[in-house]
Structure 1
Amino acid sequence: MRGRRYLVVLTVLLLSITVAGCISSTQTPTETSPSPTNTVPLVGDTNGDLNTQDLQEYIDSLPAEPLTDAEKEGLLYMVEEEKLAHDVYTKLYEKWGLPIFNNIAKSETTHVESVRMLLKKYNLTDPTADEGIGEFQNEELQALYDQLIEMGMKSEIDALKVGALIEETDIKDLQEWISKTNKIDIITVYENLMMGSRNHLRSFVGQLESRGVSYEPQVLPKDEFEAIINSPMETGQGMGKGP
């Protein structure tokens, strides 16, 4: 279902780019903070990189309770979705040479590894283990990757919009998976991934604005999107210190 939603949004975004190279925004900025309201430890930096060593220690400190089917589905989906982000940014960096794609691709590596920690803890088979760049077991994510690459190869602006779209959708999907679990270790990883995605979204939107393009949200509600891009880059304070 999420893959299909992604494809629908991508179609809308492609149409919007065709109609106008620059999208104007009229909404009023908000000062609302997008930071999580819970007290899970956050271990990321402003580039979106996660401290996987600290995260691993925290995950290991919590018991491995039986997972629901929804929790299993979420972990298997998110490890491939994070890999999709890494792979798209890797290919777009090869095409355009923009440092933002290289930097965020490296960050996405820590995101993939963070989900893999949970797969290992709960004895789930990693669907990304034997897959190369641009290869996915989930057919909808495979189709999505192919379309995102096709779009991102058209121009630097299109490529940056692809990045923003990916990060919006990551945030939305993570919110949905968090609502389906009560496991503190899973929530902690997902909250850290969301913090990274918010920082990545800020970066892509900033790059577009520096080129005279005002990006309109394609997935997130406008108020939530504005709250993110109008607030500063986030950084975690480490384990045991709170967000």
Structure 2
Amino acid sequence: MKKLAVITMAVILSVVSSCSDDDDTTQIAQTATLSQQEKDDLLFLREEEKLARDVYLFSFDKYGEAIFNNISQSEQQHMDQVLTLLNAYQLSDPASADRGVFVNQELQTLYNNLTAQSDISLVEALKVGATIEDLDIRDIEDFESRTTKTDILSVYDKLRCGSRNHLRSYVGQLVANEVTYVQQFITLEEFTEIINSANERCGQ
């Protein structure tokens, strides 16, 4: 059986560390009442970022590859940024402390399906990683179109930037294993632009 190629840990760490400036403190002020749609989007995103973190932790536990652990840490930072918004707007946090448990049943079903796929092989787990980031980018773009609040848009922009870097990382691993990922949610034009561009320093 052909041994799976793995990109060096140094490259992975470089990709993940450059994906966001999540360590920077963002000052967020509650300036207006949120619409129900804005509330729904934030609550969904909090659990969607948790889904990414939990799936990657599942894959790290099974395969021990650094990419899953490193990006799961970035997803935790993304969760924290969304939680800051929830607190600023006095919204109850839907995220369970238990791994793999979700209030939103759509996300619960998605988690179950994605971990089942990730359990098949390392390559399938990498495909799942690319799929999650592909979906995240599409969803955040939708959320951005439904708000004009600068504090929320600032967080959305950083998270979408991070997802672009994560997508580059997962696709790079798949290419190293001679596997092609076909985008499922964003357009081919956007996907090609992301993959053919350099990693970003998000928020800087």
The TM-score normalised by the length of structure 1 is: 0.75
How many residues matched?
A: 190
Within 2, Cα distance between the matches of 1:124 and 1:111?
Answer: 17
Question: After superposition, where does 1:75-154 map in structure 2 within 5 Å?
Answer: 75-128=42-95, 130-154=96-120
Paired amino acid for 2:50? K
Aligned-pair Cα RMSD in Å: 1.5
Give 1:53 deviation, angstroms.
4.0
Unaligned runs of at least 5 residues, structure 1 = 1-44, 239-243
Rate the CA distance shift 1:119–1:52 in 2: closer, same or farther, 3 A: farther
Rate the CA distance shift 1:141–1:63 in 2: closer, same or farther, 3 A: closer
Within 2, Cα distance between the matches of 1:148 and 1:213?
Answer: 18
Give 1:49 deviation, angstroms.
3.8
Give 1:236 deviation, angstroms.
3.2
Aligned residue in 1 for 2:166: 200
Equivalent pair of 1:151/1:159 in contact (CA under 8 Å) = yes
Aligned residue in 2 for 1:54: 25
Rate the CA distance shift 1:93–1:235 in 2: closer, same or farther, 3 A: same
Within 2, Cα distance between the matches of 1:48 and 1:134?
Answer: 24
Structure number with the bigger relative contact order (C-alpha 8 A, sep ≥ 6) is: 1
Equivalent pair of 2:22/2:78 in contact (CA under 8 Å) = no
Within 1, Cα distance between the matches of 2:30 and 2:107?
Answer: 31
Paired amino acid for 2:107? L
Give 1:216 deviation, angstroms.
1.2
Residue 184 (structure 1) aligned to one of 137, 150, 168: 150
Within 1, Cα distance between the matches of 2:168 and 2:25?
Answer: 25
Equivalent pair of 1:71/1:181 in contact (CA under 8 Å) = yes
- Residues 217-242 of structure 1 show CA distances to partners (whole Å, capped at 9, x for unaligned) of 1111111100000000000364xxxx
Aligned residue in 1 for 2:13: none
Residue 73 (structure 1) aligned to one of 36, 40, 60: 40
Equivalent pair of 2:30/2:88 in contact (CA under 8 Å) = no
Within 1, Cα distance between the matches of 2:72 and 2:20?
Answer: 10
- Residues 9-57 of structure 1 show CA distances to partners (whole Å, capped at 9, x for unaligned) of xxxxxxxxxxxxxxxxxxxxxxxxxxxxxxxxxxxx75424434422x2
Within 1, Cα distance between the matches of 2:50 and 2:160?
Answer: 15
Which moves more between the two structures, 229-238 or 143-152? 229-238
Identity of aligned residues (%): 44
Within 2, Cα distance between the matches of 1:46 and 1:110?
Answer: 12
Paired amino acid for 2:41? G
The TM-score normalised by the length of structure 2 is: 0.89
